Amino acid sequence: MSAPPPAPASPAPLVSVVVATDRGGPHLAEALASVRDQTYPRIECVLVDDGSADPAALRAITDAFDGVVVHRQSNAGVSVARNEGVRHTSGELLVFLDDDDRWHPERVARQVAALAARPDAVVAYCGMRTVDELGHELVPADQRPVRDAHDVLRRGTGIILPNVMIRRATFLRVGGFHPAFRRAQDLDLVLKAALEGPFAFVPETLVDYRHHPGNNTRRHRELARSIDHVVRLHRWNARERGRTDLVADHTVSLAANGRFAAWSAARAARRRLAGPVGAVAVGAAVGELAWALRFAPGAPVSWLRRRLGA
């Protein structure tokens, strides 16, 4: 009797890419090109036009890329737009692309392989560097492996939406993006996912995160306040459930955000004083430092403790 034929190999999982934008912007074509140029064979791409002022101009960009499906809606914020994008996809794995970032060609393939090797992992994240408007490196990738959920909650390494791939089942189980959050919504998603299972790390630098004048993360006061709000909500939830270990993790995270706020304000103050120094510039610089002292009065002590290894 002849041997039975080998079972057919399981098809590679479909990866759904969701782009949410309310502007298009000068880097959107490069972002979409980086999706087109992926070595991984099974990708679908949905772009949600979240009430852009010039939808025709946006379509002129997206129409240059075969397979990009566009859904237009009234402006509802990035969290709602991304959730809507997911609703129009069917992939087992989800990746979110900002309209000004770009991927290296092996990004999707490497993260799919990482999740295939770790069936228990709910998220894969990779190395991510910061580049300027022209794509030149500003800050090299510094991500490192996390041991467990505590490492993720303490935010000791950069795990944010641009370098994350998440299983659809996990995304749906945690409720996706909170529709009320317009900033730090990716942090909320990561913190929720950390309690669902392990994270797999891909050490290669596979994502370019773009830093430029139009980037929302340069609004450091709003970002620091948003992070503070999200982390405090998660800490409250942990306290209500009696998870004192998680409360401690979120307290460490809040201290880190305070240091970030103080550093960002100091950098903004230096920029104010970099040009002609007049009363307006000095007043603006003092205002930045005063805000940092109000927002994070413990930041100097926290920074010193870290420096001393306490």
Give DSSP secondary structure letters for 99-162: TT-EE-TTHHHHHHHHHHH-TT-SEEEEEEEEE-TTS-EEE--------SHHHHHHT-S---GG
15-217, which class in CATH?
Answer: alpha beta
- Overall pTM > 0.85: yes
pLDDT of residue 289: 80
Match 């109000």 to its residue by tokens.
Answer: 294
Pairing type for strands 93-97 and 102-103 reads: unpaired
Q: Is the dihedral of CA 103, 178, 197, 143 positive or negative?
A: positive
Domain limits, the chain? 15-217, 219-308
pLDDT of residue 177: 97
Pairing type for strands 93-97 and 15-21 reads: parallel
pLDDT of residue 95: 98
Spell out the per-residue pLDDT of the chain, length 310, in tens: 456 665 555 679 999 999 999 988 889 999 999 999 999 999 999 999 999 999 999 999 999 999 999 999 999 999 999 999 999 999 999 999 999 999 999 999 999 999 999 999 999 999 999 999 888 999 999 999 999 999 999 999 999 999 999 999 999 999 999 998 888 899 999 999 999 999 999 999 999 999 866 554 458 888 899 999 999 999 999 999 999 999 999 999 999 999 888 888 787 788 777 777 677 777 887 788 888 788 778 766 666 566 556 5
